[in-house]
Homo-oligomer: A and B are copies of this chain.
Amino acid sequence: METVAENRAFGGVQGVYSHASAETGTEMTFSVFVPPHQLGAKLPVLWYLSGLTCTHSNVTEKGEFRAACAERGIIFVAPDTSPRGEDIPDDDAYDFGKGAGFYVDAMQAPWAKTFRMRSYIENELPSLIGKNFPADMERQGITGHSMGGHGALTIALRNPGRFTSVSAFAPIVSPMNCPWGEKALSGYLGSNRDTWREYDACALIEDGARLPDLLVDQGTADNFLKDELKTGLLALACKKADIPAQIRMQDGYDHSYYFISTFMADHIGWHADRLKDGDEG
């Protein structure tokens, strides 16, 4: 692991790091904020998965998470959204290829070899974080925005017990039922929709996966709400499955980091409340 940059911030260190990923076969970059802490302490980890077109840097610069993470003692990890590099296959569209990995392990050429963001986020990067940072990997939470909200929900649903706390900002809740998702899942996985279900939060819940509870914020002025995000499908799935979900429609908010940063401290508080109590009872 190499240090790209480290800046002192809110009494801790905001770092950007890179490493050679075995899963993607590329150099991958991610950011980690480590809050001030006592020597030898192990801190809970909050994963933040980013949306379409983003790298680690969008939330790192605009997310306004550091004040709350410093106050509550939370490590904040922000991965990239796809493999990068000149040799990596891409697509001209913003919603497929680089910057649009959709947190799947691709099964179709030419993507299958490098677009392995599911395994990267579920296995390879957690191992690296556990080894290189003062992280208590028994206390993890996960959140994300839009495509990254989809990532957070599906990864948490597929890995019961791993995440003490789960939330999302304006998530894509059912990629099987929206244009972004249908394009990505058919492109990366192929036409057999049975293989798509493990990448669809609503389908996973329908198939029996569960979350301890859930916080979702969604802006009412979000241009993608009606056709892509379809928050109502998640509310319905949670209701049917008795998952206690707080799904908050936020009046007048859009899909931008102005929306995310407004509610970031709330989400960090939600995670901190659960991560602190998790193993200390």
Contact = CB atoms under 8 A, between A and B. Distances in A.
A8 to B, nearest CB: 4
A107 interface: no
A20 interface: no
A67 interface: yes
B258 A8 contact: yes
This chain: how many copies in the complex? 2
Contacts of A11: 262
A258 B9 contact: yes
A54 B52 CA distance: 26
Nearest to A61: B62
A177 interface: no
A10 B61 contact: no
Interface in A52-107: 61-62, 64, 66-67
A10 B262 contact: yes
Given A67-B265, A261-B66, A265-B67, A8 B254 contact: yes
Contact of A9 (B9, B262, B265): B262
Given A61-B61, A62-B62, A7 B67 contact: no
Contact of A221 (B8, B254, B257): B8
Contacts of A221: 8
A256 interface: yes
Contacts of A9: 258-259, 261-262
Contacts of A14: 258
B67 A257 contact: no
A281 interface: no
A7 B222 CA distance: 11
A252 interface: yes
A253 interface: yes
Interface in A214-267: 219, 221, 252-254, 256-259, 261-262, 265
Given A258-B14, A262-B10, A64 B67 contact: yes
Contacts of A8: 219, 221, 252-254, 258-259, 262
Nearest to A265: B67
A146 B254 CA distance: 33
Interface of A: 7-11, 14, 61-62, 64, 66-67, 219, 221, 252-254, 256-259, 261-262, 265
What 9 A-B pairs come out closest when comparing CB atoms? Answer: A9-B258, A7-B258, A8-B252, A8-B253, A10-B262, A64-B64, A61-B62, A9-B262, A14-B258
